Amino acid sequence: MEPVLRSAPGIDRDIYPMPAFVKFEAADLAATTRWYEAAGFVVLAAMPGPGGATALVHLRRQRFQDILLVSARGVPTGGGRITMAAGGDDLRQRAADLAVAGGGTAQGPAPTPWRSDDLTLTDPDGNVVVLTEPRRADIDADPQWSAMVRDSVGREVN
């Protein structure tokens, strides 16, 4: 059964200088790319390497959520890890989509002590992407926490 590809909300396909990104190695670039598409990423660009085969795939979920996949030279090292805001993505549905896609794993979503739910994705090469979504009801139910967050928004960090 083919997975239903659901893009994450608000994918921005603009090309801009990326202030930060991660680069993960993939043993099978095409298979790992398909897995990330099931995780809500879109392919912005694919670049050929020597000989014409795809050597780099630029993926994005939302603005500033970029991953560059590169062909592994030998066995991928895995072990890369990044956390990204889920941005309203339905984490339970995303986990179900990835279960159908196969190749990697999805654990959760699981609650954290800091009032978020985290879905931990491990790609076919052992790299980890954590999608995190705040639990608004829990945050709003704690007036002290809500006030601190509200008061800190927009402050400059020295």
Provide, rounded to the nearest whole percent, the portion of the chain with pLDDT above 90. 47
Which residues lie below 8 Å from residue 56, measured CB to CB, with a gap of 6+?
46, 47, 49, 68, 69, 70, 71
Q: Above 70 in pLDDT, residue 61?
A: yes
Both tokens of residue 85?
A: 């805001």
Q: Above 60 in pLDDT, residue 3?
A: no
Compute the half-sphere exposure of residue 32: CA atoms within 13 Å on the CB side of its CA.
Answer: 29
Task: Tell me the average pLDDT across 34-60.
Answer: 92
User: What would the pLDDT profile of 84-137 be if each residue is shown by its tens digit?
Assistant: 989 888 999 999 989 888 889 999 999 999 889 999 999 999 999 999 998 877
pTM of the model: 0.78
Closest CA to 46 of 69, 62, 73: 69
